[in-house]
């Protein structure tokens, strides 16, 4: 969740503010998100945050890239001093990932998913029918969707992300100014973060992340619509 919000927080923090106080408050929000992310001790959240940072970094001007490369190690040192052992814990989460019980638990889900998928491979057993209290919890929305809505539904789920992202890329190319491009890039980074998070937990079981997903996908369609050429908009108007 934090990783999906971070791109927008960074985008608005980098934009000129009406007052100095407002500009500082924007950076306070960014710092709070950056501090909270490692404290969640969530591999998925940290990976999603890394992906969003890479997407944003590729579109930043050189001066902002240099500042980011300078600030990042300074921030890590401050976090290490403020919360002793935190960075070591985060590092061990990735260094020992193959021996982690959660990893072995996730890989053991593959046999279960294969068993139920074979029973109804095309359309699945039905949406929201693979109940954790009866069967087991699948910490992977893609695996859960494969069981519940089958191969056809899985293709639809992939298109559900793929088409809006394509719209965002088209809008990025058509954007009239740098500020609009940065906002669209932040939107795309947030969608990438949500896509990645779906592989780390049963996302659609949580109303907050499910609502955020469709809000972001709708925004992708909106930016595609708003960046169309004026002549196209006039022809399509009722």
Taking alpha carbons only, the member of 209, 170, 171, 163 closest to residue 190 is: 209
Q: How many residues does the chain have?
A: 238
For the stretch 96-121, what's the b/e string if a residue is b when 16 or more beta carbons lie within 10 angstroms of its beta carbon?
Answer: eeeeeeeeeebeebeeebeebbeeee
Q: What tokens appear for 211 in the block?
A: 């609502």
Residue-wise pLDDT tens digits, 10-31: 999 999 888 889 999 999 999 9
Residue 102 reports pLDDT greater than 70: no
pTM: 0.87
And the tokens for 184? Answer: 């669209």
Mean confidence (pLDDT) of the chain: 87
- For 134-148, the pLDDT digits (tens) are 888 888 899 999 999
In this predicted structure, the answer to whether residue 120 has a pLDDT above a threshold of 70 is: yes
With cut-offs at 50, 70 and 90, classify the pLDDT of residue 98. Answer: low
The region, left, alpha or beta by phi > 0 then psi within -120 to 50, assigned to residue 126 is left
Rounded Cα gap, residues 183 and 189, in angstroms: 10
The per-residue pLDDT for range 147-182, each reduced to its tens digit, is: 999 999 999 999 999 999 999 999 999 998 889 999
The pLDDT of residue 99: 67
**Residue 136 CB neighbour total at 10 angstroms:** 13
């Amino acid at each position: 969740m934090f990783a999906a919000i971070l791109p927008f927080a960074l985008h608005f923090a980098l934009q000129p503010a009406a007052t100095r106080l407002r500009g500082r408050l924007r950076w306070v929000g960014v710092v709070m998100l950056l501090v909270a992310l490692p404290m969640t001790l969530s591999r998925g959240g940290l990976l999603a945050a890394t992906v969003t940072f890479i997407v944003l970094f590729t579109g930043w001007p050189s001066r902002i890239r240099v500042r980011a490369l300078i600030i990042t190690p300074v921030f890590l040192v401050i976090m290490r001093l403020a919360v002793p052992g935190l960075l070591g814990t985060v590092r061990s989460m990735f260094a020992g990932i193959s021996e982690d019980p959660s990893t072995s638990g996730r890989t053991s889900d593959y046999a279960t998913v294969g068993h139920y998928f074979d029973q109804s491979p095309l359309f699945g057993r039905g949406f929201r029918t693979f109940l954790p209290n009866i069967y087991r919890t699948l910490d992977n929305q893609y695996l859960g969707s494969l069981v519940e809505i089958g191969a056809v539904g899985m293709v639809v789920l992939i298109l559900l992300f793929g088409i809006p992202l394509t719209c965002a890329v088209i809008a990025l190319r058509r954007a009239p100014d740098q500020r609009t491009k940065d906002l669209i890039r932040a939107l795309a980074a947030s969608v990438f973060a949500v896509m990645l998070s779906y592989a780390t937990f049963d996302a659609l079981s949580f109303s907050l992340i499910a609502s955020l997903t469709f809000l972001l996908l709708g925004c992708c369609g909106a930016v595609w619509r708003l960046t169309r050429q004026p002549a196209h908009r006039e022809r399509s108007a009722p």
